[in-house]
Amino acid sequence: MSVCGMIDRIHLSGEQPSFLEKIDKNAVLGHDFVLEEKAKLLKACLDIAILEEMTKRNAVSAPDIIVFFEKNYDIRLSPGTVYPILCRMERRGYIRVLPNRKKRFYVLADSGRKALESLQQHLDDVQSFITGLLNK
């Protein structure tokens, strides 16, 4: 399963997860809380989600990434959030910029693909950790 697939499984719309069912019924917990927690979880995984999306495309630009997160996760990222992530991943060698383009397009480098594959091998551990936190 892909990392984005895991995020989709953790997606907090639709049926309420068990951790919300365990909260005292007298507690006031609105939809805003769920959306806020979903956004925090996704933002913690932005690098991973961006790398995963890059495996499906030839090249992406920062605006492409912003549109992807808004369309698929209803999260609005600013260029001030996306560009530093792309710069950090470029410095680490996970992605590279296509040369001679007016607009900056990024492609997944071999080391980025290997890092993502390594993480996917440990995905069950990450998912178990998150599920354990939510079910306590």
* Tens digits of residue pLDDT in 61-100: 999 999 999 998 888 889 999 999 999 999 999 999 998 7
**What would the pLDDT profile of 112-123 be if each residue is shown by its tens digit?**
999 999 888 888
The three-class DSSP label of residue 96 is strand
b/e map 107-126, b = 16+ CB within 10 Å: ebbeebeebbeebbeeeeee
Residue spans of the domains in the chain: they are 3-134
pLDDT higher than threshold 60 for residue 7 = no
In terms of residues, how long is the chain? 136
**C-beta pairs of 40-43 under 8 Å, 24+ apart in sequence:** 41/7, 41/10, 41/130, 42/7, 42/69, 42/73, 42/75, 43/75, 43/81
Topology at the third CATH level for domain 3-134: Arc Repressor Mutant, subunit A (1.10.10)
Beta strand 95-97 with 106-108 is: antiparallel
Instruction: Say how many C-beta atoms besides its own lie within 10 A of residue 19's C-beta.
Output: 13
The three-class DSSP label of residue 104 is coil
Position 120 scores a pLDDT of 84
**What would the pLDDT profile of 14-66 be if each residue is shown by its tens digit?**
444 434 333 433 344 556 777 777 777 777 788 889 999 999 998 999 999 99
